[in-house]
Amino acid sequence: MRQFLKYVLATIVGLLLFSFVGFLLLVGIGAAFSLSDSKSNVSANSVLKIDLNEPVEERSSENPFSNIGPFNQKGDAMGLVEIKRGLKAAKDDDNIKGIYLKAESPMAGWASLEEIRNALIDFKQSKKFVYAYAEGMTEKGYYLASIADKIYLNPAGDLEWNGLNAELSFFKGTLDKLEIKPEIFKVGDFKSAVEPFIRNDMSGPNRLQVTSFLNSINNHMLVGIAQSRNLRVDSLNRYADNLTIQKPEDALRTKMITNVGYEDELQSLIRKELKLDEKKKINYVSLSKYDKSEKDDMEGSSSNRIAVIIASGDIHSGKSEGNSIGSETIAAEIRKARLDDKVKAIVLRVNSGGGSALASDVMYREVELAKKAKPVIGSMSDYAASGGYYMLMGCNKIVAQPNTITGSIGVFSLLFNTETFFKDKLGITYDRVKTNPNADFPAATHEMTPYQKQVMQRATERVYAQFTGKAAAGRKLPIDSLRAIAGGRVWTGSQGKAIGLVDQLGGLDEAIKLAAQSAKLKDGDYKLKYQPFKKPFFEQLMSSLSGDDETRIQAQLGELAPYVKYLKKLKTMEGIQMRMPFEMDIR
């Protein structure tokens, strides 16, 4: 009887699992079919509704259940490639009459915002309207909204206009309380990624570089806003200095917005544009539903292709996982593009503040090999600094946005001596037996000898010499000139162009055009091939259900998210590192 019940129970469980998987398959297939025809089914007189208050990554994860019940999760990332592609298609789509933009507090870097903003400006060439509404806006949100024909701010809302600030966190006090001693080995006065562990504030060189690139980003933003709103840069600066914008009426009086009003008032204006009766419902189309075409990614009949290899996140050895750059994965993608005769040029798109020096060099080697076979163009996103710059410095040409963060050509090694912490706080002690004097080197459970510290410093200096030597060769600069702008110093893209670290200002589209020109390909004579390919369907599903994603951490934890990210990054900081100050928050 017991055996019988066991088989019955097993059968029931199996049927339930089968039913659940079957349900997912049916939903997925249905979603795939509905989404594949979404563009052709866009009704006439539609408005594209774009909400940019979600995380923005290089490419979307495309959760097929994103609009279905419990699978619709806050924090699903939007893809920059998909956003721009949707705007480009909407520009020429007669069924799309305009855009309703919501960009109150975009969760994107400044270079990503630049690409989206430029795509919106290009959309406006169609003479279709762009209207923006917000209950409150940060500087990032206003930078996007400033291109709109109409900007509505809720009467009870606010516009944050007090300038940009870059806030860094320091953990020396915490480590002192825990009696954990950091052992730091670095090269470069500006290599400030280690400062949070050994200081309570910014060093002089670090404050100098942060002030420099922060003002560069701010000035670029002000010039763009001034041009879009027909305002003066000095006026915008004065408003920030004096906290002039304290209520919506102040923003209206200074002509930073066009209207103080509620969302229903903006919708009434949209109905007038569409010639709709006041009682008629506006047909809004979300960007995620509008852009579901994969035609740019799939291999077509053309024998001419440009491979766009996207590398985003921290750099480490092994395979890419989540939002990270695994040297094994990216090196294989570069190699695959090099050996594919249909691929005539390669664009390496990097969004990274660095990571493992060894992993960065592995990918650099593949760039060098690929460059011998076909043009390789580097494209910088929000960050392409330290190890992120190392990946690109061998490219034929490098393209960056004016507000990209780059440079940080420097290295460091970081170890934590936890001997006192374990002994005094936890009562744990360690002892050891060695066959040779340095068999336990390096270790986190005891103090290193002066000789061992010297060995670590020399190893760090060797990697720095390798970094600067290869950077000088790649950029065709004398080594002394390269080292004068290295030292771990961070620059913006516009500053990088002025000193020779960058060849051209622009986004991914400009990098692709440059790749086509370098390969002597004409417009319309090539297809884009994005690599790596997106995750398989069920891998996307499991990822969306698990929620163990950096963008979702940001969406769910808000102000606490950076500290969770620090802990995760510390686990990967093994060996000699090429990183910029990873906790930098510019807002």
Do residues 335 and 284 both lie within one domain? no
- How far from 322 is each of 77, 319, 452, 542, CA to CA, in Å? 12, 10, 36, 12
In the β-sheet with 324-326, what is the strand arrangement from edge to edge? 181-187, 411-417, 577-579, 354-356, 314-316, 324-326
Which pairs with CB-CB distance under 8 Å and at least 24 residues apart come from 11-16? none
- Whether residues 251 and 381 share a domain: the answer is no
Residue 479 lies in a domain: yes
| Residue positions annotated with a catalytic role | 191, 386
Residues 508 and 560 in one domain: yes
Are both 362 and 464 inside the same structural domain? yes
Residue burial 365-400, b: 16+ Cβ < 10 Å; e: rest: ebbbbbbeebbbbbbbbbbbbbbbbbbbbbbbbbbb
Residue with tokens 């020396």: 172
Coil/strand/helix, residue 450: helix
Sign of the Cα pseudo-torsion (84, 89, 91, 97, in order): negative
Strand partners, 260: 153
Q: How far apart are CA 375 and CA 395, in angstroms?
A: 8
Q: Which tokens hold the place of 393?
A: 């410095």
Put residue 478 in one of left, alpha, beta given phi > 0 → left and psi -120 to 50 → alpha: beta
Q: Which amino acid is at 156?
A: A
Co-location of 258 and 342 in the same domain = no
Is residue 17 one of the residues assigned to a domain? no
Tell me whether residue 31 is in a domain. no
Q: Is residue 452 part of a domain?
A: yes
Cβ pair 183, 291 in contact under 8 A: no
> Both 409 and 541 in a single domain?
yes
pLDDT of residue 76: 60
CA 512 to chain centre: 19
Residue 574 burial (CB < 10 Å; 0-12/13-18/19+)?
A: middle
- Is-contact 248 154, C-beta < 8 A? yes
Whether residue 298 is contained in a domain is answered as: no
Could you tell me the two tokens for 288?
A: 């995620």
pLDDT of 523 = 86
Tell me whether residue 96 is in a domain.
yes
Report pLDDT for 500. Answer: 97
Signed CA dihedral, 416, 459, 576, 206: sign only: positive
DSSP state of 18: H
Give whole-number Cα distances, 416 to 196, 462, 506, in Å: 13, 22, 41
Q: What distance separates the 2 farthest-apart alpha carbons in the chain?
A: 87
- State whether 398 and 284 are in the same domain: no
Q: In this structure, are residues 122 and 84 in contact, taking their beta carbons and an 8 Å threshold?
A: no
Query: Do the domain assignments include residue 3?
Result: no
Check which CATH number belongs to the domain holding 258 and give it: 3.90.226.10
Q: Which amino acid is at 263?
A: E
Indicate if 286 and 309 belong to the same structural domain: no
pLDDT value of position 501: 97
Same structural domain, 356 and 401? yes
| Contact between residue 585 and residue 196 where contact means Cβ atoms under 8 Å apart | no
Please give the pLDDT value at position 14: 56
The model carries a pTM of 0.86
DSSP reduced 3-state for 345: strand
pLDDT by residue for the chain (587 residues), tens digit each?
555 445 545 555 555 555 555 555 555 544 444 444 444 478 899 999 999 998 899 987 655 555 444 444 444 678 999 999 999 999 999 999 999 999 999 999 999 999 999 999 999 999 999 999 999 999 999 999 999 999 999 999 999 999 999 988 899 999 999 999 999 999 888 888 889 999 999 999 999 999 999 999 999 999 999 999 999 999 999 999 999 999 999 999 999 999 999 999 999 999 999 999 988 999 999 988 886 544 444 444 468 999 999 999 999 999 998 789 999 999 999 999 999 999 999 999 999 999 999 999 999 999 999 999 999 999 999 999 999 999 999 999 999 999 999 999 999 998 899 999 999 999 999 999 999 999 999 888 999 999 999 999 999 999 999 999 999 999 999 999 999 999 999 999 999 999 999 999 999 999 999 999 999 999 888 999 999 976 554 555 555 444 445 555 555 555 555 555 555 555 556 568 888 765 566 77
Question: Is position 239 within any domain?
Answer: no
Looking at the structure, do residues 462 and 494 belong to the same domain, yes or no? yes
Domain extent for 322: 305-582
384 and 270 in one domain? Answer: no
Closest-CA residue to 517 (of 365, 375, 315): 375
Domains of the chain: total: 2
